[in-house]
Amino acid sequence: MPSERIQTERLILRRFSRRDISALTEAVQASLPALNEWLPWAHPGYRKEDAAIYIRDSIEAWREGKAYDWAIRRKGDPRRHIGNLSTWGVSRLTRTGEIGYWIRTDQTGQGLAGEATKAIMRVGFQELGFHKIVLRIAVGNDASENVAKKLGFAKEGVLREELLIRGRWIDHNLYSMLEQEFED
Ligand SMILES: CC(C)(COP(=O)(O)OP(=O)(O)OC[C@H]1O[C@@H](n2cnc3c(N)ncnc32)[C@H](O)[C@@H]1OP(=O)(O)O)[C@@H](O)C(=O)NCCC(=O)NCCS
């Protein structure tokens, strides 16, 4: 099992609990235009019930070792939800894992996605034994591509029509990092 609570310079990443439903709902609702552009689950009618289902599934997935989600909070303001970081195994045979993330809109542009993702890369390579970590980023999502590039991920190529977003199949860039490339 990976670390349930991780501290970075400015952030605390920790497992979700049922007490997070309201804070998660508020953060998603406050960021809907940006999230809805790239993440199919962030639909315009997102409400508490959606957050409750997400947290229930997240707790179960963690227990079963299928996927690990962390709630991102600022050290000085632990009640306000800043975003999510997740990792999960894609293939046991090749020891490949994937990372996904989002940051609430009024907190973007401060390097928080990069800071939180770096912490979870460490978990992936050092605790979960991944040989390779991938990011799938929609073509056109420049902000997320910049996060990947700044962390040193290499672009492998384009995955054609990888995800249905608001009724359109969207190509995604595949970015990856190998364990020997990770600089802690
Ligand atoms: C993508 C996202 C996570 C970036 O979060 P963030 O905390 O602002 O990212 P960072 O501050 O760590 O940014 C890393 C780099 O990307 C750049 N960047 C951030 N937003 C950008 C934008 N809209 N356009 C171009 N570059 C951008 C930053 O300037 C930074 O580079 P710099 O330090 O050289 O200036 C956030 O915008 C988000 O949640 N978007 C909606 C959901 C989403 O797209 N999730 C990812 C799906 S793959």
Strand order in the sheet with 154-165: 5-7, 11-15, 67-74, 83-91, 96-103, 132-138, 168-178, 154-165
Instruction: Tell me which residue range forms the domain holding 106.
Output: 5-130
118-129-86-63 Cα dihedral, nearest 10 degrees? -140
108-122 pLDDT, tens digit per residue, is 999 999 999 999 999
Looking at the structure of the chain, the number of domains it has is 1
Does 116 contact ligand 1 (Cβ within 6 A)?
no
Give the pLDDT of residue 184. Answer: 87
- 23: domain CATH number? 3.40.630.30
16 within domain boundaries: yes
CA of 108 to the centre of ligand 1 (A): 6
35 located within any domain: yes
Q: Is residue 148 part of a domain?
A: no
Q: Which atom of ligand 1 is nearest to the CA of 138?
A: 48
**Per-residue pLDDT tens for 40-93?**
999 999 999 999 999 999 999 999 999 999 999 999 999 999 999 999 999 999
Residue 62 lies in a domain: yes
What is the reported pTM? 0.96
Mean pLDDT score of the chain: 97
pLDDT above 90 (res 160): yes
Residue-level pLDDT at 150 = 98
